[in-house]
Amino acid sequence: MTLAAVVLIAAAAVATLVFTVSRQTNCDPIVGGADGVAAQLRYVDIGERQLTFTFGPSASSDVFGVPRFELAVGNATPPPELDTGTKRLDIAFHGASGFNPDLTPSYRGSSLLVPPGAGILREADLTQDSAGLLSWRLMLNGSACPAVTTNSYVWGKSPRAQVTLTFGQRAWITAEHPATYVGAPILAPVLVVGRGFVPRSKLSLRLGDHDLDPADADADGRIETSIFVPKILPGIYELSVTDDSGRRATYRLSVTDEL
């Protein structure tokens, strides 16, 4: 499988989908991605109003891009005495798995994710990973319909495809780094990607109390830039990207002193 072939397929298959968030009881089903794609789940990033699935290529196929996905609202209505006000969304990816063809895990994160703070997104958990079907359940603190966007980039020599759900925020970011553990070594380069910013705007990056080198959004409002973590104590820091209009996205970056 050549990188050129994979990237070409990914570029052709990854079409941006944008749906406006709305507060309503029922959300229309959302479908996207492409049939025939084989993808390995690499990361799932959760925030109070954001959930991002990041996929890499599979050794079982030369066809890679955003796998076909379906997002639907759970229709079950609990009895009044059991109704806590939470709502359920289900997203299913076809041709995707958290396990490589040799059954080693491609996704090493938790099967139950909880945001670090209070927001509309309460939790996300894995409900199925078998027979080429990967499903996650989202629980919301109330009724809201997400905006769904797709994105693609290349990490080193490996292409990536992303599906992001956001609730009431326009911009979002994620970060990828070379560490094999959760976190980023001090002074290691970190690739920051995302979208939803004002096209061709100037972007200010900040990690905790440290200003980082600025970047520029492209014509589609995307960011793709490398940063270096300054010499700071190990811990979890807020990485933020803000454009000229004040549109802002954040990511919790874990910094360690491991090499």
Q: What is the DSSP letter of 202?
A: E
Segment holding 23, helix H or strand E: none
Q: What mean pLDDT, rounded, does the chain reach?
A: 86
Instruction: Let me know whether 164 and 180 are in one domain.
Output: no
- In the block, residue with structure tokens 């979208």: 195
Instruction: Let me know whether 116 and 49 are in one domain.
Output: yes
Residues 213 and 241 sit within 8 Å (Cβ to Cβ): no
Instruction: Let me know whether 127 and 204 are in one domain.
Output: no
Instruction: Let me know whether 56 and 154 are in one domain.
Output: yes
CA angle 221, 172, 225 (to 5 degrees): 60
Instruction: Let me know whether 87 and 10 are in one domain.
Output: yes
Q: Is 253 helix (H, G, I), strand (E, B) or coil?
A: strand
pLDDT of residue 38: 97
Q: For 109-118, what is each residue's pLDDT tens digit?
A: 999 999 988 8
Instruction: Let me know whether 193 and 68 are in one domain.
Output: no
Which domain-ending residue is among 111, 135, 169? 169
Instruction: Let me know whether 126 and 226 are in one domain.
Output: no
Sign of CA dihedral 105, 239, 149, 143: positive
Domain count across the chain: 2
CATH number of the domain that residue 223 is part of: 2.60.40.230
Better-predicted residue by pLDDT, 233 or 35: 35
pLDDT of residue 185: 63
Residues 65 and 9 sit within 8 Å (Cβ to Cβ): yes
Number of alpha carbons in the 13 Å side-chain half-sphere of residue 214 = 10
pLDDT of residue 171: 97
Instruction: Let me know whether 156 and 251 are in one domain.
Output: no
Confidence of residue 78 (pLDDT cuts 50, 70, 90): low
Task: For 208, list phi and psi in degrees, rounded to 5.
Answer: 60, -120
Instruction: Let me know whether 165 and 194 are in one domain.
Output: no
Residue ranges making up the domain that contains 38: 3-169
Instruction: Let me know whether 89 and 182 are in one domain.
Output: no
Which domain-ending residue is among 169, 192, 212? 169
Among residues 9, 1, 21, 13, the alpha carbon closest in space to that of 144 is found at: 21
Which domain-ending residue is among 128, 148, 169? 169
Checking if the pLDDT of 204 tops 50, the result is yes
Instruction: Let me know whether 19 and 144 are in one domain.
Output: yes
What does the DSSP assignment read for 64-82? -SSBPEEEEE------GGG
Range from 2-16, 136-150, 176-190 carrying the lowest mean pLDDT: 2-16
Distances (CA, A) of 56 to 6, 97, 100: 10, 10, 10
Better-predicted residue by pLDDT, 97 or 229: 97
Residues 41 and 107 sit within 8 Å (Cβ to Cβ): yes
Query: What is the mean predicted confidence (pLDDT) over 78-101?
Result: 81
pLDDT of residue 180: 46
Checking if the pLDDT of 145 tops 50, the result is yes
CA angle 151, 238, 210 (to 5 degrees): 110
Segment holding 9, helix H or strand E: helix 3-13
Query: What is the mean predicted confidence (pLDDT) over 36-59?
Result: 97
Instruction: Let me know whether 108 and 72 are in one domain.
Output: yes
